[in-house]
Amino acid sequence: MGADPKLVKMKDQVYKDPRPKEFFDRYHERSRTQPPNWVYELVRTATSFYAYTLLRARSIGTHNIPQSGPVILAPNHFSFMDHFLCGAFTRRKLRFMAKSQLFTPPMVHIYSPGGVFPVRRGVRDEEVFVTAETILEDGGAVCMYCEGGRSRSGALADSAKPGIGRLALQTGATIVPVAIHGSAKVRNWKRLQFPKVTVQYGTPFRFEKIGPSDRGQQQAVADQVFAEIRALYAQLDEEGAEAVARKVRAERRARRAAGPAAV
């Protein structure tokens, strides 16, 4: 599928960071030993205001986000705003992976204290998994994209990357699939066009922790997670946010009426 001509062109991606692993050790160490500081709330406030106003962002299913314990939020990925959109509707401080090329001054002084940790694309980066697992073992919340990098076509990727399957199987953390609808056109702000964005948090689920897993197991889990994201996204695309929101509210009321065992 070709790129949507209505989308502003994205910059070409740089997949290989020439800096050695040791350069990024300090950022991983900080993420493993310190929670995000006041920078997180400052950035969250600023980006959420932008999302609520110009993007008219709304959420569906925020009750599906566990308020405590290890959780992996798994959204689709179209835009640089997806991190902020995913975190705009929860008070939990989400921890994000970001490509290592972003860890340069002056933004590194926002990313690192804000709880972001680097992933070196183009190499087998074990440190990113150690950091993510450490955060989850401490009961934290990690945001990880099934697709890896951003989609450049305005459509969901054809397949998932196995990384999220590996993290799910090695930690047993709860997974919340997330559909972010409309963010593909966020970069159209250059044309003074601002899309309406909806963020839907799906029903949480988890896989049993099995420790080391092979690539086939990891891919199978990643495919299941991505299938949930696809279903959420397709529903928003076909029925619209209002209809989906009404349906989710009705289902929640029905579960409550059925009693605690059904909730």
Mean per-residue pLDDT for 209-230? 94
* Residue 91, in any domain of the structure: yes
* Residue 4, in any domain of the structure: no
Mean per-residue pLDDT for 13-33? 90
pLDDT (tens digit, 9 = 90+) per residue, 169-192? Answer: 999 999 999 999 998 888 765 666
Q: Are strands 198-201 and 58-60 parallel, antiparallel or unpaired?
A: parallel
Of residues 189 and 162, which shows the higher confidence score?
Answer: 162
Q: Given this model, what pLDDT does residue 1 score?
A: 44
Q: How many residues does the chain have?
A: 263
pLDDT (tens digit, 9 = 90+) per residue, 26-65? Answer: 999 999 999 999 999 999 999 999 999 999 999 999 999 9
pLDDT of 20 above 50: yes
* Lowest-pLDDT range of 58-62, 146-150, 207-211, 225-229: 146-150
154 pLDDT band, cuts 50/70/90, is confident
pLDDT of 106 above 60: yes
* Residue 192, in any domain of the structure: yes
Structural domain boundaries, residue 170: 37-262
Q: Given this model, what pLDDT does residue 3 score?
A: 55
Per the structure, how many domains does the chain have? 1
* Residue 13, in any domain of the structure: no
pLDDT (tens digit, 9 = 90+) per residue, 67-100? Answer: 999 999 999 998 889 999 999 999 999 999 999 9
CATH assignment of the domain containing 89 = 3.40.1130.10
* Residue 5, in any domain of the structure: no
pLDDT of 101 above 50: yes
Q: Given this model, what pLDDT does residue 212 score?
A: 85
Q: Given this model, what pLDDT does residue 185 score?
A: 80
* Residue 197, in any domain of the structure: yes
Q: Given this model, what pLDDT does residue 157 score?
A: 87
The pLDDT > 70 percentage for the chain reads 90
Question: Which neighbouring-strand residues pair with 95?
Answer: 142
* Residue 30, in any domain of the structure: no
* DSSP per-residue letters across 90-153: -SS-EEEEEEGGG-STTTHHHHTTTT-EEE-TTS---HHHHHHHHHHHTT-EEE--TTSS--SS
Of residues 239 and 155, which shows the higher confidence score?
Answer: 239
Rounded distance, CA 166 to CA 133, Å? Answer: 10
Other CB atoms within 10 A of residue 176 CB: 26
Q: Are strands 174-181 and 198-201 parallel, antiparallel or unpaired?
A: antiparallel
* Residue 8, in any domain of the structure: no
Q: Given this model, what pLDDT does residue 149 score?
A: 75
Q: Given this model, what pLDDT does residue 5 score?
A: 54
